[in-house]
A and B are shown apart, each in its own frame.
Chain A
């Protein structure tokens, strides 16, 4: 990391300037993270009176716990679905807007605003539409013979939170795909068209490879969104249920830590999540390096 060629002198000033940021980081980020790492190596009795060192015992217990493995599976299905659905829709809408040239930009304003809706609020909106007794969609489904009750049916509950999470995320994908498509030089597309490549062939063999960096970046961002930012959707709608049908990993770490007060297990779960974030961040930075190398 470089500094400017011309710099100021001062021995105490730079530290003073950094102090607020570093203080907040140390007290509220690094110290608690260290606590989580440390705590994950101990088992605590239910009253919090004593703790014993168990090494990697909490992690072994976690991996042997069917409820945790189930949460991992739910997280996979949930995040894969949200990512596929919101990226697919975002790309389709971006391609449509791009095909319209200048007039396509007018749709932008109508498509980006759901980004501003909080996940919890998005969840509540979908919860209302699917409410078995009063929801518009639930009633429409009943009219065509499908009985909907996400309070009883785990698959329906999972579908509902997937739809709510994707609904909110389409805007983000649209925005980045649209920018990516607009950046493709029109000359390339015209040349391909002159060579006889049809609409579909141009999309498949030119557009998709050219926006691959954007797609990769969005894949990482969407996975991170589905893993972490959707806590509000789950907590405000299904509460992880029915049963464990919508308990994703972040929801489980919250419930085990705050409601079940299982400190060691919760810390071990935090450490697993930390590993996921580190992996996602590393992926994201690899992407940036590659783009810089272009």
Chain B
């Protein structure tokens, strides 16, 4: 049996290695491109090995940007992306924890109605209500601000459902004990529920950080001031410049690498939390 099993095992390894190679290829080529000079591309000198300009190219995009194309330094865009990702992740978690607490631990009129209103947001992605949402944000003077970038995105039905599920598994005895000890609801929330949901919060944070970092359409709509560009949308302006005027592919690819580095690192370092976050939010 063992002898016959060896060939399928080799085939499986080969298939997986091929799969990994296909996934890595675009990123590898981008990295190689980001270490060469702009003039090397047309002459075909960019091969499959890194060039000598790693530090120069990354330094250039990080701190100078492409001033001819009106692109701010990437360091600023990274900062904006970080602020946006953190605010969206923490904001969603905070308001969802509170609303899940309200609908599971209280009985009050319109409880079910509130639950349905939250549920409906599942069916209204930004793409479906682009223009009217933009008008609302514009009329509240929230264009070109961190508020405008984040607040309209922090409602979350998924997170609310997840926390509700977590709270439903918390034994009622704990609530009874808290009531007997005269603890206020907020005290119970803070000292019992929050510590019990710690891993769920962490797992959800990983997913939501990536979600916030990778936002594209929304920043495109609400920012015209280059000072508020996020890196994921800023790269498109840079690429457009690259395909039109002088070839700046080395700078575009350096920016692409910088744009994917933080979320990919988050997944790599917190793989276990990432997997449980992804499967939990889909339940």
Q: How many chain A residues touch B (Cβ–Cβ < 8 Å)?
A: 97
Q: Does B79 contact A (CB under 8 A)?
A: no
Q: Does A22 contact B (CB under 8 A)?
A: yes
Interface footprint category on B:
35 or more
Residues of A contacting B105 with CB < 8 Å?
Answer: 3-4, 7-8
Segment with Cβ contacts to B, from A62-70, A76-84, A205-213, A273-281 = A273-281
Give the contacting residue for A117; candidates B16, B120, B130, B264; CB below 8 A. B264
Q: Does A223 contact B (CB under 8 A)?
A: no
Task: Name, among A93, A175, A267, the residue most crowded by chain B CB atoms within 10 Å (CB to CB).
Answer: A93
Residues of B contacting A120 with CB < 8 Å?
Answer: 214, 216, 232-233, 235-236
Q: In angstroms, how far is the closest chain B Cβ from the Cβ of A159?
A: 15
Q: Does B29 contact A (CB under 8 A)?
A: yes
Give the contacting residue for B131; candidates A99, A258, A278; CB below 8 A. A258
Residues of A contacting B267 with CB < 8 Å?
Answer: 112-113, 115-116
User: Main SS of the interface on chain A?
Assistant: helix
Task: For B112, give the chain A residue with the smallest CB separation.
Answer: A1
| 8-26 of chain B: CB within 8 A of chain A | 8-9, 11-13, 15-16, 19-20, 22-26
Known: A112-B267, A277-B124. A7 touches B239 (CB 8 A): no
| 229-252 of chain A: CB within 8 A of chain B | 231-232, 235-237, 250
Segment with Cβ contacts to A, from B50-58, B67-75, B196-204, B245-253 = B245-253
Chain B 205-232 against A: per-residue CB contact (8 Å), 1 yes, 0 no?
0000010011011001100000000001
**A residues neighboring B (CB under 8 Å):** 1-8, 10-11, 13-15, 17-18, 20-22, 24-33, 35-36, 39, 89, 92-93, 96-97, 99-100, 104, 107-122, 124-129, 131, 133-134, 136, 139, 167, 170-172, 175-176, 179, 199, 217, 221, 228, 231-232, 235-237, 250, 253-254, 257-258, 263, 266-267, 270, 273-274, 277-278, 281, 288
Interface pairs A-B: 6 shortest CB-CB: A32-B132, A118-B214, A35-B132, A116-B263, A232-B216, A17-B102
**B residues neighboring A (CB under 8 Å):** 8-9, 11-13, 15-16, 19-20, 22-27, 29-30, 33, 41-42, 44, 46, 94-96, 98-99, 101-108, 111-112, 114-115, 117-118, 120-125, 127-137, 151-152, 154-156, 160, 167-168, 172, 175-176, 179, 185-186, 188, 210, 213-214, 216-217, 220-221, 232-233, 235-236, 239, 243, 247, 249, 252-253, 256, 259-260, 263-264, 266-268, 271, 274-275, 278-279, 282-283
Selected A-B contacts with CB under 8 Å, 8 pairs = A29-B121, A32-B136, A36-B131, A92-B19, A100-B16, A107-B19, A270-B131, A270-B132
